[in-house]
Amino acid sequence: MKRVLIVDDEKSFLLSLKDGLSVHSDKFQILTAENGREAVSVLRALPIDLLVTDLKMPELDGFELLAWVSRHQTQLPVIVMTAFGTPEIEARLTTMNTLQYLEKPLDFQMLLDGISNGLEAGDKSFIRGITLPTFLQLMNIEQKTCTLKVLSDGRVGYLYIRRGELLDADYKQQNGEAAALEIVCWENTEIEMDSICRRQQRVITMSLEHLLIEACRQKDERMYAEMTLQAVAPETSSTAGVGFPAEVQADIAERQPLSAEEQVRQRLVEVLTKMAPVQEYAIFDQMSFLEEKNDGTCSLEEFDPAIFMHLIEMVDSQLKFGAFNCLVLSTSSRCRYLLFNSRQRRVVAKLKPGVPAQQVIKEIRRYLHR
């Protein structure tokens, strides 16, 4: 029996959909979740054949859910429910061919048709997952503010977005439009999402639409040049690109064990979550991108470790105290904050009042400096 997961924060809406679709229980099973966090729990626990999700939800919104899917279940078919708002926006969305879109208020027959198409088309004609350009266009339409960490074949880039507009980008030594044009052309991307835009100044003046068009043009030019070279010197080509079909490669990749860095990150989350003295925590990479945080409210998610690192470097220039590993900050309200620094990431932890910091420092250091 195939399973369809529908995600929306309106409980009555979910119940009505589940009730209406129950007449097709011989064809598929409907599961529901009220936010992205619940949906991730379901996706981790059960094989799901189709995801139908709203975008605006508490806890973990639809964008964060789609970003999670891009990393962990790249072959999962997705239908997005959204209020188009204007005919112009609707026209823009209908030109995207990597996702199915349904307009709210929902037409039940269109939902049923979309589910049937998604489940029956299979791998041959149904485009699965979400591409980075589509994700960016969706954020532009919904005027989303965030930072995206984009990973592809060992490359890591950052896109800084405020109210749907791309402000800046970083990739290696490049920034601005040059970095953005490089990143948006990547294929087989994994997307991580930080709900804070960690750039203030707008560096990219080109509109997102024009940037995507220009990136596509440059990509086509590079592909044409490569094809021309191969045609001129076919004997230089190799079989390096020959391998399993894409769907098999994706299936193999999903079964590969976590990398050493991912294991450290996962273990850090487990340790920080279980430690009673830790009231809140946030884990950042070296670009101040928020990788993980405690469940529920987290006052540290807008924290920018780079500001403190800059101040520490200024103090070091005077005092020459050497490499910085850990900093303890105390406030007038007797709250204490720990800032840890390593080559790969930075951890900020807020301690409960009156709790000694040494035990927490020792435990975090065990995993952060491996």
pLDDT tens per residue across span 219-245: 888 777 777 666 665 544 443 443 444
Q: Select the more confidently predicted residue: 348 or 94.
A: 348
**CATH 3.40.50.2300 domain residues, the chain:** 2-140
DSSP type of residue 237: -
Pick the closest to residue 117 from 203, 274, 2, 200 (CA basis): 2
pLDDT band at 171 (very low <50, low <70, confident <90, very high): very high
Question: φ, ψ for residue 187 (rounded to 5)?
Answer: -110, 165
Pick the closest to residue 6 from 39, 47, 28 (CA basis): 39
Mean predicted confidence (pLDDT) in 113-125? 71
Pick the closest to residue 155 from 134, 179, 120, 136 (CA basis): 179
Q: For 77, how many CA atoms within 13 A lie in the half-sphere containing its CB?
A: 23
For tokens 């027959």, name the residue.
Answer: 109
Q: What is the pLDDT of residue 96?
A: 55
What percentage of the chain has pLDDT greater than the value 90? 42
CATH code for residues 260-368? 3.30.450.190
**Threshold 0.75, pTM exceeds:** yes
For tokens 């884990």, name the residue.
Answer: 283
Q: What is the pLDDT of residue 122?
A: 52
Q: What is the pLDDT of residue 218?
A: 87
DSSP per residue over 333-363, as a string? TS-EEEEEE-SSEEEEEEEPTT--SHHHHHH
Class of the CATH domain delimited by 2-140: alpha beta
pLDDT tens per residue across span 316-356: 778 777 777 888 888 877 788 999 888 888 999 999 887 77
Q: What is the pLDDT of residue 77?
A: 87
Q: Select the more confidently predicted residue: 370 or 226.
A: 226
Check pLDDT > 60 for residue 301: yes
Q: What is the pLDDT of residue 273?
A: 92
**CATH 3.30.450.190 domain residues, the chain:** 260-368
